[in-house]
Amino acid sequence: MVFIKEFKTFIKRGNVMDMAIGIIIGAAFGKIVNALVNNIIMPPIGMLVNDSNFTALKIVLKKAVYDENDVLVRNAVTVDYGLFIQTLVNFLIIALVIFWVVKGMNRMKKKEEAKPAPPPAPSKEEQLLTEIRDLLKKE
């Protein structure tokens, strides 16, 4: 029972919930970026390299082996560099967007910090001393 209470306390902490929400939003954002890269960015790049399906670009190190009935005996050994390049583009886009978000957050924080705090009100002692000074100047 102690374990369950500790676990409930752990889950109720705000930072755990924030982290969970961040992970869920991050996963959804990753899907959006993958769709952007796969369906909008990579097709034109694939056309530039004379291949409509960019992920199909690969170097065959060893061809697949089939028997006399066209049944696959051994898979081909390939270096799938097109898939690697697409994954790299996904990463760069995600990193760029995160950079923009962090830069925007930092800019907002700087604006908040740039506003000078109003000077604190003078204490009662300072007010009394000011009044005494002003009275002495009048005499």
pLDDT (0 to 100) of residue 138: 81
pLDDT (0 to 100) of residue 97: 81
Contacts 24+ apart (CB under 8 A), 108-117: none
pLDDT (0 to 100) of residue 19: 80
Residue 78: φ, ψ to 5°: -135, 160
Burial of residue 54 (CB within 10 Å: 0-12, 13-18, 19+) is buried
> Which amino acid does the sequence have at 14?
G
pLDDT (0 to 100) of residue 77: 93
Single pTM value for the model = 0.54
- The structure tokens listed for 95 are 């990193």
Reduced to 3 states, what is the DSSP secondary structure of residue 68?
A: coil
**Would residue 50 be called left, alpha or beta, if left means φ above 0 and alpha means ψ between -120 and 50 degrees?**
left
pLDDT in tens, the chain (139 residues): 788 888 877 777 767 777 888 889 888 888 888 888 888 887 887 777 776 677 778 899 999 898 888 888 899 999 998 888 888 888 888 888 888 888 988 888 887 777 777 788 888 888 888 888 888 888 6
Helices of type H across the chain = 2-12, 14-36, 42-48, 81-114, 124-138
The class of domain 2-117 in CATH terms is mainly alpha
